[in-house]
Amino acid sequence: MRIRTTVAMLLIMLLTACSAARPTDAAAPVTAAPEAAAPDAPMPAATPPPGAAGKMSPDMVGKVSPVPAFKGLGEHFNIEIQSLGEQTSEGMRHSVRLIWGMGTHEAEGTVFYRNAPGRSMPGPARGAPILLEGTLETAQGRKAIRVDIVTERCTDDADRAHPQRVKIALQDETDMHGCGDLAVY
């Protein structure tokens, strides 16, 4: 079957016109013109200020924890830490949940991040361990816990790489060592 020249030319022009449209034009939401907005309303920033992407703003320094969230695991233990966003006289407050002893023990509690003694800047020094201390409510009663998180490549028993190492010292227990993943701002 042979297509006539005129029909072929029309099809080529139609395909060319369709392929020339940018997908972003079709997907862009329809917004009101700037004149339609309230005169006092600030215009939203199209992009963050230079250098701001992926960083905390200066007004957040010392107010947010260097440990927003952490999940760690090792031989016979799992730990989860979550910042509660509270600054207290004891430090920045976090909830902690630890399962150890091949799952036979489970406890929850509170740990605090404190700035290193003598350090004027909030947060840990680059490369320094992050230290959290507090207590767990266990079946045997309240126990002191200390969690050290170090940014250092670590490979778990399943040969998966993690960016942090973790050491857990729990009162009356053998120290636990493993790997983990620290959420960052």
Q: What is the tally of structural domains in the chain?
A: 1
- The answer to whether position 7 is within a domain reads no
Query: How many whole angstroms separate alpha carbon 1 and alpha carbon 14?
Result: 21
**106-158 pLDDT tens trace:** 999 999 987 655 544 455 556 678 899 999 999 889 999 999 998 889 998 88
- The answer to whether position 144 is within a domain reads yes
- The answer to whether position 178 is within a domain reads yes
Please name the helix (run of DSSP H) or strand (run of DSSP E) that holds residue 26, with its range, or none.
helix 23-27
Q: Which residues of the chain have pLDDT under 70?
A: 1-65, 115-127, 184-185
- The answer to whether position 117 is within a domain reads yes
- The answer to whether position 107 is within a domain reads yes
* Residues with Cβ within 8 Å of residue 99, at least 6 apart in sequence: 77, 78, 79, 105, 106
Tell me, what's the pLDDT at 106?
A: 92
- The answer to whether position 66 is within a domain reads yes
Tell me the residue range of the domain where 174 lies: 58-182
- The answer to whether position 159 is within a domain reads yes
